[in-house]
Amino acid sequence: MRPTLLALALVACSGSPSTDLNADPRAEDPGRVTARRLNRSEYNRTVRDLLFTDLRPADSFPPDDFAHGWDHMADALTLSPLHLELYEQAADALIAQELRNPIVPEGTWFFDANDPELVATTGAAGSTGYMLWSNGSLVGTARLDHPGTYTFTASLAATQAGPDLARAALTIDGANVATFEVTGERRYAEYTTEVELTAGAHTVGVAFLNDYYNPELGEDRNLLVERFQLDGPFGTPDEPTAARSLYYTCAPDSGASCRADILRGFARRAWRRPPSADGLSMLTGLTEGAIALGADPEEAVHTGIKAALLSPRFLFRLELGDDPTAAVSRPLDPYELASRLSYFLWRSMPDEELFELAASEQLLEPEILEQQTRRMLADPRATSLIDDLAGQWLYLRAVDDIEPDYATFPDFDGALRDDMRAELDHFVAEIVLEDRSMLDLLTEEQTWVSARLAEHYGVAPPIEHDQDLGPVYLDEQGRAGLLGKAGLLTALSFPTRTSPVKRGQWVMAHLLCEDPPPAPAEVEGLPEHEGEPLSLRERMERHREDPACATCHKVMDPIGFSMENFDAVGAFRTHNVDGTQIDPSGSWPGGPSFADSADLSFALAEDPRVASCMVRNVFAYALARPAGIEDIPYLDRIDHAFEEGEHRFATLAVSIVLSEPFRRTRGEPEVTP
């Protein structure tokens, strides 16, 4: 492949030699990937798919270590004692919510006797309770969600008179379910019975059964009601959670072999492969040990499951072969391959279809692998590619952290920032997940904005909406693709002003894979309050007078200046703050010239380095390790397939999945000191 003029201009600037120009393919080595701890995104997504939970325990885990622009690079991810503590908490919380014994939670239906909502056939409310002064009842309505055993309790007293004690009944739906002799003389006591009730509305209350009144003797028997209540249901089985139904194929109290079955099924999915004998015996040993300690079978099984969730087999993606020091590569086993595939495309565990194809070993067949890759890309879980892949490589996540200066941009607020992020998410999804050419990321002139963001861009709001976003065109402002997006432009600015250097440097590093070396410390960053009457552009011209700076800046600065029509919050402008007209045109030494940012984006899209840089980024993302010099022969083949496949993401994903570095691994030869 002939390097372009741009690529040649960049070689002199790049901090490290451009690997593909100095390729010296040696014996092919597909490399290896160190044991990968699940990062926060993966942990949350994995427990979502393992336990069907809406909990996101990893949101409170420490931030993941960041390397090569990614938060999931195997070598960089460390694990601190704080992680272990939080893993333990997370396991407890997940088990309590998703694998609990499904018993209907108990409730109380309470009735204050003086509540005017109650219905009485006789009597009146009084300061010491409701007085039923002749035979009759006082009732309220309890609406029950669940059938089951309830307790029905009333606090009753009486004014005694005549030969008998006062008699009261607890009534449900008009029927007496229990009758009592009320013994207290104006002293309340509780009377309780147990009742079986159906779900639905029930009339519950108290009836007075033996009124007595003798006006001559001045004797009057009455029933006093203070309150009554239903509690329950007790021990009513509830709908099990989805996870409970899946894993609890038998009742934990039915015996050790049932408990082992539950643990085996859980471990198969949690550990992403059928558990080995030693792994399973660890879990069953804990569970049976817990029973020996006096735990009930529920708690005992939870203990085993907790160990499964705390085991390195869950927390790490391990690819342990028979010979950990083998220099010769081996094909991944089908379960290892299933996990590589699912964590690449979903950042989560394999689904049942992948497990089955792994069990039958069909997953090792290239046609099946390709078919699965395409199936998985069509699955909603593939949206992880937006937040995790594009989120980091294309800086979507950086938009969440933008904080323009409040005084300079008083209209900017959190809602606008969210709209900027939503635009980028939608834009990238539209191209990556709809399997269009990824070069459209640079050249597509249609975008999807909210009414608020349309106003920010200075265009009419979209006519059609889908989830608040609608299509608009921004081509008249010289905007195309990513480099015209307000969110990215803001993320690549200082809080008060634009930074052509940052923008140019970002294009080089993220789209051309040519990371310029950092500027010497003493010149880094343009002082904010410099008093010289030079325009920004004039000051930047000085970069190029110093030969040490010139090699990089003569490539970087024209890129940044082409975007000067977009201010530090990405809004369109034709003039600088000082009133001078902005000239977005530029050229590279010996390379193409361009009229504005859109023109530059089209020029970039034609440069093979851009497609090749896409390949390198997705490759690193897929493997959780950066591309190295040994990968060049493989990368060349993927580059070729990507080009042949019209730069569609699915083509790229398939060719990475089918490449040897993805499908094979090797051991790590011991270094002899």
Residues 100-119 that bind another protein (CB under 8 A): none
Residue of 320, 378, 415, 534 interacting with another protein (CB under 8 A): 320
- Smallest gap from Cβ 381 to another protein, in A, equals 23
- Smallest gap from Cβ 110 to another protein, in A, equals 17
Phi, psi for 180 (deg, rounded to 5) = -135, 150
- Smallest gap from Cβ 656 to another protein, in A, equals 22
- Smallest gap from Cβ 338 to another protein, in A, equals 19
Report the alpha-carbon angle 63-65-69, nearest 5.
Answer: 110
Cβ distance to another protein smaller for residue 394 or 611: 394
Using CB under 8 A, which residues numbered 198 to 257 contact another protein? none
Residue of 1, 84, 124, 534 interacting with another protein (CB under 8 A): 84
Q: Is 20 exposed, middle or buried (0-12, 13-18, 19+ CB in 10 A)?
A: buried
The binding track of 346-385 with respect to another protein, each residue x by CB under 8 A or -, is ----------------------------------------
Q: Hey, which residues does 144 pair with through a beta bridge?
A: 200
The binding track of 249-278 with respect to another protein, each residue x by CB under 8 A or -, is -----------------------------x
Residue of 230, 263, 491, 507 interacting with another protein (CB under 8 A): 491
- Smallest gap from Cβ 384 to another protein, in A, equals 18
Q: Hey, which residues does 54 pair with through a beta bridge?
A: none
DSSP states of 551-601: HHHHHHHHHHHHTTTB-TTS-B-SB-TTSPBP---EE-TTS-EESSHHHHH
Structural tokens at position 135: 């035979």
Helix axes 366-377, 649-658, angle to 10 degrees: 140
Using CB under 8 A, which residues numbered 492 to 531 contact another protein? 494-496, 521, 524-525, 527-528
Cβ distance to another protein smaller for residue 131 or 491: 491
User: Can you give the three-state secondary structure of 210-247, one letter per residue?
Assistant: CCEEECCCCEEEEEEEEEEEEEECCCCECCCCHHHHHH
User: Can you give the three-state secondary structure of 478-493, one letter per residue?
Assistant: CCCCHHHCHHHHHHCE
Using CB under 8 A, which residues numbered 15 to 44 contact another protein? 32, 34-35, 37
The binding track of 128-167 with respect to another protein, each residue x by CB under 8 A or -, is ----------------------------------------
Residue of 8, 55, 86, 429 interacting with another protein (CB under 8 A): 86
Structure-token match 């979903």, residue found:
346
- Smallest gap from Cβ 416 to another protein, in A, equals 13
User: % helix / strand / coil in the chain, to the nearest 5?
Assistant: 45, 20, 40
The 10 Å Cβ neighbour count of residue 633 is: 16
Cis ω for the linkage preceding 233 (within 30 of 0):
yes
Which residues are within 8 A (CB) of 226 and not within 5 positions of it... i.e. 6 or more apart?
113, 128, 129, 130, 155, 156, 157, 188
- Smallest gap from Cβ 398 to another protein, in A, equals 6
| Among 592, 600, 604, CA closest to 565 | 600
Cβ distance to another protein smaller for residue 463 or 671: 671
Structural tokens at position 288: 């049976």
Tell me whether strands 212-214 and 219-232 are parallel, antiparallel or unpaired. antiparallel
Cα distance between the two ends of the chain: 41
Structural tokens at position 622: 């897929």
The 10 Å Cβ neighbour count of residue 628 is: 13
**8 A C-beta contact, residue 472 and residue 527:** no
Residue of 298, 299, 387, 418 interacting with another protein (CB under 8 A): 299
Cβ distance to another protein smaller for residue 178 or 295: 295
- Smallest gap from Cβ 622 to another protein, in A, equals 19
Q: Binding segment for another protein among 85-93, 173-181, 216-224, 581-589 (CB under 8 A)?
A: 85-93
Cβ distance to another protein smaller for residue 327 or 460: 327
- Smallest gap from Cβ 178 to another protein, in A, equals 33
Residue of 21, 25, 60, 254 interacting with another protein (CB under 8 A): 60
**8 A C-beta contact, residue 303 and residue 286:** yes
Residue of 306, 553, 616, 647 interacting with another protein (CB under 8 A): 306
Q: Binding segment for another protein among 259-267, 290-298, 602-610, 632-640 (CB under 8 A)?
A: 290-298
Using CB under 8 A, which residues numbered 526 to 565 contact another protein? 527-528
Helix axes 649-658, 632-644, angle to 10 degrees: 150
- Smallest gap from Cβ 71 to another protein, in A, equals 7
Using CB under 8 A, which residues numbered 601 to 660 contact another protein? none
89 touches another protein (CB under 8 A): yes
| Among 594, 478, 502, 604, CA closest to 553 | 502
- Smallest gap from Cβ 406 to another protein, in A, equals 3
Structural tokens at position 552: 């990089």
Using CB under 8 A, which residues numbered 378 to 417 contact another protein? 397-398, 400-401, 403, 406-407, 410, 413
- Smallest gap from Cβ 62 to another protein, in A, equals 4
318 touches another protein (CB under 8 A): yes
Cβ distance to another protein smaller for residue 21 or 82: 82
d(CA 368, CA 589): 48
Q: Binding segment for another protein among 5-13, 312-320, 575-583, 584-592 (CB under 8 A)?
A: 312-320
296 touches another protein (CB under 8 A): no
Identify the helix (H) or strand (E) that includes residue 502.
Answer: helix 500-506
- Smallest gap from Cβ 84 to another protein, in A, equals 3
Using CB under 8 A, which residues numbered 563 to 602 contact another protein? none
What's the residue count for the chain?
673
d(CA 382, CA 375): 10
- Smallest gap from Cβ 650 to another protein, in A, equals 30
Phi, psi for 614 (deg, rounded to 5) = -60, -45
Residue of 135, 151, 193, 311 interacting with another protein (CB under 8 A): 311
Q: How many helices (H) and strands (E) does the chain have?
A: 25, 20
Number of residues near another protein (by CB under 8 A): 72
Cβ distance to another protein smaller for residue 8 or 35: 35
Cβ distance to another protein smaller for residue 76 or 206: 76
DSSP states of 440-484: HHHH--EEEE-HHHHHHHTSPPPSS-BTTBEEEE-GGGT--SGGG
Structure-token match 């691994």, residue found:
665
Using CB under 8 A, which residues numbered 429 to 488 contact another protein? none
- Smallest gap from Cβ 499 to another protein, in A, equals 9
Residue of 126, 255, 285, 520 interacting with another protein (CB under 8 A): 285
Q: Binding segment for another protein among 81-89, 427-435, 588-596, 653-661 (CB under 8 A)?
A: 81-89
Residue of 8, 11, 56, 75 interacting with another protein (CB under 8 A): 75
